Amino acid sequence: MASVQACAAIMKKVTTISLALLLGLAAGGCSTSSDNEGASGTASPGSSASPSKGTPPAKPAEKVSLNMLVPSQSNWTYSKDKPIWKAIEEKTGYSIEGQVPPGNDYDGAVNLTIASGNMPDLIFMSSFTKANKYGQQGALVNILDYLDQAPNLKKWLGAHPDILQRFSSVDGKLYEFPNDQNFGLGDRIIWMYRDDVFKKNGLNVPQTYDELYDVLKKLKQMYPDSYPFSTRAGFDTLSRMAPQFNTFNDTYYDFDRKEWRYGPIEDNYKKMIAFMNKLYKEGLIAPDWLTFNSKKWEDSLSNDKAFVFLDYVVMDYYNVPLRKDRPDFTMLFMPPPAGFEGASRVNINQTALDIGMTIASTSKKIKEAMKYMDFFYSDEGEQLSTWGVEGVTYEMADGKKQYLKSFKTLSELREKPGLFNLGTYTRMDFMATLTFMGTESQDAFKQAANYDSKLQPSPPFTDQQIDVLNTVGEAVKKYQQENATKFILGNRSLDEWDQYVGEVQKLGLDQLVKTYKDAYDHVQNRK
């Protein structure tokens, strides 16, 4: 469950489509111009059962210029001269003037911009949580009030009620233009293993955690200086493993029981903790695994000190360069093992991407901004966002599009012509980008889709509910993490598990779970 406390981490996703893909102050009240008044109340999106191809919006009689606040990062610097912006202008008739705040604190810059009241027409937001906060303060337009200006978006929302619900505020309004969630696919977490080592030693790919333990034991015997299972996620490793034990590392929604639960006090969670304790005691995971950084992780991976991994789809980082001296070196996708007999073989689903564009309520061009953004919800918009311009970014071969061979990596495609830069998409075809990856990574992405756990709900919270999350929630989280760590490291006996459960409950756990339930029920009841 992506809790409110974790929202700050979403900016990490802003800097890259994904690790694997690239390789390489409260706002004052703001009034809306009377010329831009939308329909009163909240409009309803279309109810079509499937996405419509849609049509690009008609070009304005004269070119319209819109201002846009957007961050610029080292791997995708903003420049209005990049071909993608020129292509969008040719298709839509809208010219974008980007404003890039200095420094690295983009969220802080957004806050200051909104507080000043001097806002550009379009503002990129690092999460819908922030967009909803500013929207409820009056700084942003409720997009649903202007759906008559965005027929493609209206049809798309009607075909994706789950995404509409995810992005909506607690009062049922929509302040951020949703993505189709394809971008988040690059953030998949998967199991990987050293296929060459397994074959050399006659080891089978484990199907369960019991089999995983047996394999790790054998690897330890064969490579005594190794710690066969390696992770660089620290305590978050438990979040990645928990779905394979039919639980979560936080408050979560149980779709089978149709109720909210707290994973870290469940018996299944205890089984996972016991497994990790066994790995730690027997030297099957590094003694400093909680603080194992990327450098140590990469060293262990590259030097035959680790052979099973739980991370992003990163095999290209290692298969390609290490094969220069070790031709057999091969990391492959491994289906997630079942934590126990009958448990689900699923990976954590964290593919939801919550970034997006918003429209300032002070804009004199709200309708124009709506029409501009509507283009990206059309099929033509998706094609442009994904492929760019023929002859500039792609060519046709045997009747199919393919990126020009002059672009060696996806990062080059992003930096030079500007594809996938913020403000240039809402929909895209993620699978098209797999051509930049090696066959092992392509296979991993294709297989991983078969092992996704169901995406957890992310209901919006009231200010009072957020207070509970920030007080009770933080207290529970801190205590739970401290004690889970003690159990794994052997500093507290698992015989005291029931006592630990009671201690967590006394911190206000029932109130915390009820807060999630109430927020979720509120969303369900307004359908």
Mean pLDDT of 299-307: 97
- Split at pLDDT 50, 70, 90, the class of 324 is very high
Query: Is residue 348 one of the residues assigned to a domain?
Result: no
pLDDT per position as a tens digit, 465-486: 999 999 999 999 999 999 999 9
| pLDDT class of 330 with cuts at 50, 70, 90 | very high
Identify which has the larger pLDDT, 513 or 429: 513
Q: Does one domain contain both 9 and 152?
A: yes
* Residues 377 and 510 both lie in one domain: no
If asked whether residues 25 and 160 sit together in one domain, one would say yes
Residue 370: which domain range?
4-184+353-428
Return the number of other C-beta atoms located less than 10 Å from residue 141's C-beta.
26
What mean pLDDT comes out for the span 31-46? Answer: 38
d(CA 493, CA 437): 46
Residue 346 counted as domain residue: no
Structure confidence at residue 53 (pLDDT) = 56
Mean pLDDT over 330-358 rounds to 95
Strand partners, 27: none
Domains contained in the chain, number: 3
Q: Is residue 343 part of a domain?
A: no
User: Does a structural domain hold residue 517?
Assistant: yes
Domain co-membership, 103 together with 118:
yes
Summarize the confidence of residues 448-475 as an average pLDDT: 95
Residue 441 counted as domain residue: no
What is the DSSP secondary structure assignment for residue 386, as one 8-state letter?
H
Same domain, 29 and 123: yes
Instruction: Give a three-class secondary structure readout of 216-265.
Output: HHHHHHHCCCCCCEECCCHHHHHHHHHHHHCCCCCEEEECCCCEEEEHHH
Q: For 56-97, write each residue's pLDDT tens digit.
A: 666 776 889 999 999 987 767 889 999 999 999 999 999 999
* Mean pLDDT score across all residues of the chain: 89
What pLDDT is attached to residue 527? 63
Q: Where are the beta strands (DSSP E) in 286-354?
A: 308-312, 331-334
- Asked which of 55-64, 142-151, 337-346 is least confident by mean pLDDT, the reply is 55-64
Could you tell me the pLDDT band of residue 375, with boundaries at 50, 70 and 90? very high
pLDDT at 57: 63
Average pLDDT of 103-130? Answer: 95
